[in-house]
């Protein structure tokens, strides 16, 4: 994965738990000699997996909890790192944005030529719900998609509920999510904490 992803993990941990916690996570991941992640450098996926595994040990949370929180954090992080215009041009509403996810990744690949993006297909229903199919060469990232959806819900001020109804990790052919929009509900309710705070 590109260094941008690992930098986002670093920023999420350091901003919510402190630099000392981040340094301990790096040490657990056997990355203590790495001073920084270069945004446009491609790193082995194992580096990211080691950081997540170390964070589960240091924070006392499951990998799924961390990946979901990271997915939500990723939306605000990428906007703050200079990709706000790319996000804005992808859609004016949450359904429009989900329809254009593959186009977003195609445009991102200009800056990240070694990008191996996932693919998304969104089917809309009349009852303001959607089914989002997620396909990726990588395994174990479905919880991040749940977090991404919650983060996008906040970005578009569109409260939503997300259920994963099919999982490759459980033997299904694909990862499938049921997304229900609920405009009348509280947008801050039932959202995961992007800070993965652990008391």
Which residues make Cβ contacts (< 8 Å) with residue 96, sequence separation at least 6? 90
pLDDT in tens, 152-164: 999 999 999 999 9
Which of the following CATH numbers is that of domain 92-181: 3.55.50.30, 2.40.160.60, 3.90.1520.10, 2.60.40.10?
3.90.1520.10
What does each C-alpha distance from 168 to 56, 134, 178 come to in angstroms? 22, 10, 15
Q: Is 177 a residue whose pLDDT tops 70?
A: yes
- pTM assigned to the model: 0.87
Backbone angles phi, psi at 42, to 5 degrees: -85, 125
Which pLDDT score, from 0 to 100, does residue 154 have? 96
Average pLDDT over residues 58-85: 96
Which pLDDT score, from 0 to 100, does residue 190 have? 41
Distance CA 175, CA 135 (A): 7
Which pLDDT score, from 0 to 100, does residue 186 have? 41
Which pLDDT score, from 0 to 100, does residue 131 have? 97
Give pairs for 12-19: CB < 8 Å, separation 24+: 12/69, 12/70, 12/73, 12/77, 12/194, 12/195, 12/196, 13/55, 15/195, 16/194, 16/195, 16/196, 16/197, 17/59, 17/195, 17/197
The confidence band for 194, taking pLDDT boundaries of 50, 70 and 90, is very low
Which pLDDT score, from 0 to 100, does residue 193 have? 52
pLDDT in tens, 49-69: 999 999 999 999 999 999 999
Average pLDDT over residues 123-132: 93
What does each C-alpha distance from 111 to 5, 21, 62, 76 come to in angstroms? 14, 31, 32, 19
The confidence band for 196, taking pLDDT boundaries of 50, 70 and 90, is low
């Amino acid at each position: 994965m590109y260094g941008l992803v690992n930098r986002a993990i670093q920023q999420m941990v350091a901003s919510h738990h402190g630099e000392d916690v981040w340094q301990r996570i790096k040490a657990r991941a056997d990355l203590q000699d790495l001073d920084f992640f270069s945004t446009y450098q491609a790193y082995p996926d194992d580096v990211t997996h080691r950081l997540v595994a170390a964070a589960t040990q240091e924070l006392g949370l499951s990998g799924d909890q961390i990946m979901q929180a990271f997915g939500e954090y990723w939306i605000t992080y990428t906007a703050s790192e200079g990709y706000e215009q790319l996000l804005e041009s992808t859609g004016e509403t949450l359904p429009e944005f989900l329809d254009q996810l593959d186009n977003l990744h195609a445009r991102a690949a200009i800056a990240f030529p070694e990008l191996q993006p996932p693919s998304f297909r969104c089917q809309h229903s009349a009852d303001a719900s959607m089914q989002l199919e997620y396909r990726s060469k990588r395994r174990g990232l479905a919880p991040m998609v749940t977090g991404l959806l919650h983060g996008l819900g906040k970005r578009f001020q569109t409260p939503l509920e997300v259920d994963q109804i099919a999982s490759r990790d459980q033997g299904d052919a694909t990862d499938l999510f049921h997304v229900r929009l609920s405009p009348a509900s509280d947008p801050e309710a039932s959202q995961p904490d992007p800070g993965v705070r652990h008391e």
